[in-house]
Amino acid sequence: MAWLMAMNRDELSKRFTLFQPPPQAIFALLDKSQLYAHARRMGVALPDTHAPTSMDAARALSHALDKQGEFPVIVKPRTQACMAVKQKGMVVHDATTMLRAIESMVRSASVQAEHMANAATDLQWPLVQAFHVDAQSNTYSLAGFIDRSGMARAVRASSKVFQLPVKVGVGVAFEGRPVLPDLVAQVEALAQATGYFGVFEVEFIHVTSSGEYLLMDFNPRFYGQMQFEISRGMHLPLMALAAARGELKQLEDLFQQSKVSAREYDPAAQRYCNSWLFNVLMRTQRLGGRLSTLELQQWQAWMDVPDLFDCVQDSDDPAPEGAQRRALWRHWLRHPRSSFRDMFK
């Protein structure tokens, strides 16, 4: 969606008020090969990443990784922008499985060419990246608003503590974290290098053994857990609206409100999740043997805090929660095997 809006910015601006960067800025962040190239030039740390563009190159890479004992690795799409079939990353533990994963992704990749006229021609080839266990439950995210100069004017931090599927997936539970100025500076440098401005979310892997923060993704758009930031006093949609309308005083007031509210909360005590789904996941993980009874109890206690923000549950408006439960049950019943893998393994 971010890419389509950027590509059609001129046409959309005839009917809508926009605060929209140019297409090249958006795709420089959505295409991980370009994003990582910018990061390397600026000294931003990231996982070891390889970009084979032929099976011969992939075979040579698999042999080198096997010889150096670098498995497991993750095979992940270079971008999701305008792909007809959305694919997740796949953790592989040996050279043979890695080659099969690459072949499968290339074979099933289908770029919607009418939307990608100026993009690279090898987008269907996935990246091969070092797999860090910390990515499962120790992902650090910075989110906020970048102005036209490339400065982050409002920022919140959080950590993804649980995801679905468990190894490589979408976050379903988050904790608040202190904002780290050094990482904010890295985000600003990437925004200035690419020309991006607007709402953002940037994900890092926090490697606990070394203390490093490794860049994973830069999402130049509204994102899934944005309500967490809104609940914590950073009103990103209103900031985007004020910026699009040129209401600079209103925008500055929103920035100031965000700073004031940040001082009122203890980030470490903040929680964000879909309580019902999270409870279901914890119980399926217990049944699948991935959690002990004690760990299940600890996760249930994790939700029992004053600053728990639920993404769909609201006593004044139960309709969204009911609609999501029905949608999830339909998905689970329609796709039982993949749902079993996602939730029990």
Q: What is the DSSP string of 82-133?
A: TBSS----EEE-SHHHHHHHHHHHHHH--B-GGG-TTS-TTTTSPEEEE--G
Between 18 and 117, the higher pLDDT residue: 18
Question: Model confidence over 94-120: pLDDT tens digits?
Answer: 999 999 999 988 887 655 545 555 555
- Separation between Cα atoms, residue 2 and residue 246, nearest integer Å: 21
Q: Look up the pTM and report it.
A: 0.88
pLDDT score recorded for residue 126: 93
Domains with residue ranges and CATH for the chain: 48-131 (3.30.1490.20), 137-268 (3.30.470.20), 274-344 (no CATH)
Share of the chain above pLDDT 90, in %: 64
Rounded to whole angstroms, the Cα distance separating 79 from 170 reads: 15
What was the pLDDT predicted at 334?
94
Check residue 111 and give its pLDDT.
57
Tokens found for residue 195: 């020309």
The average pLDDT across 62-79 equals 95
Average pLDDT of the chain is 90
Identify the residue with better confidence: 23 or 189.
Answer: 189
SS (H, E, C) 146-189: ECCCCCEEEEEEEEEEEEECCCCCEEEEEEEECCCHHHHHHHHH
Q: Is the pLDDT of residue 169 over 80?
A: no
| Per-residue model confidence (pLDDT) at position 113 | 47
pLDDT digits (tens, 9 = 90+) for 105-164: 888 765 554 555 555 568 889 999 999 988 877 889 999 999 999 999 999 999 988 877
Residue 273 has what pLDDT?
92
